[in-house]
Amino acid sequence: MILLETNWNLVIPVAILAVIVLFLIFRMYKMRHLLTAANGPETSEHTIELSDKNFEAVISKGVSLVDFWAPWCAPCRIQGPIVNELANEIKGKANICKMDVDQNKKTAGKYGIRSIPTIMIYKNGKMVKQFVGVKTKGVLLKEIEAHL
C-alpha cells in the first residue's frame, strides 16, 4: 500500500489561490449582470428624457440639470439612480434631465461631451456648472439650490 504524503506547504497556497480565483469570477459575473440587467426604467417619473429635438427648449427656462450618459457606461449606471432620486426630491423646482449620448450625438458634440457621465447645470439656457464623473446627490442638490 502506497501512502501519499501531503505537502502542506503546497496545498495551502493552492487553496488560497483557488478561493481568490473563484471570488474574482463571481465578482465579474455580478458586474456583468449589473451592467446588462434591465432593473427597471432608466428614468423616474420626474426625470425628463432629452433628445436633440427638445434639448434647447427644455434648458432655456429656469434651472436644468442634464445628465449625459450611455447604457454601456458603468459609472453612468451608478449615476443614473442618483439623478432619479434627485428628480423625485426636487419635483418641479428645477428640470432634472437625462440625455443618452449614443442616441443624440448632435447635442453631445455641440456641448463637447468627451467623458461620461457628464452633468451640466443650466440657468435660462446658459451653462453655470459642469461635473465629470459620478457625483453624490448632496453635491448636485447643493449646486442646484445655489442657482434657484
Q: Is position 128 within any domain?
A: yes
Q: Is position 41 within any domain?
A: no
Q: Is position 110 within any domain?
A: yes
Q: Is position 31 within any domain?
A: no
DSSP state of 5: P
Q: Is position 105 within any domain?
A: yes
- pLDDT value at position 42? 62
pLDDT per residue, tens digit, the chain (148 aa), is 455 666 777 888 888 999 999 999 888 887 776 665 544 446 678 899 999 999 999 999 999 999 999 988 989 989 999 999 999 999 889 999 999 999 999 999 999 999 999 999 999 999 999 999 999 999 999 999 999 8
- pLDDT value at position 1? 47
Q: What is the CATH number of the domain that holds 140?
A: 3.40.30.10
Q: Is position 21 within any domain?
A: no
- pLDDT value at position 2? 53
- Collapsing DSSP to helix, strand or coil, 136 comes out as coil
Q: Is position 15 within any domain?
A: no
**Nearest to 76, CA basis, from 143, 142, 135, 127:** 135
- pLDDT value at position 29? 80
Q: Look-up: residue for cell 502542506?
A: 8
Q: What is the DSSP string of 13-77?
A: HHHHHHHHHHHHHHHHHHHHHHHH---S-SS-TTEEEP-TTTHHHHHTSSEEEEEEE-TT-HHHH
Q: Is position 38 within any domain?
A: no
Range of the domain at 106: 47-147
Instruction: State the total domains in the chain.
Output: 1
Catalytic residues: 73, 76
Which pTM was predicted? 0.71
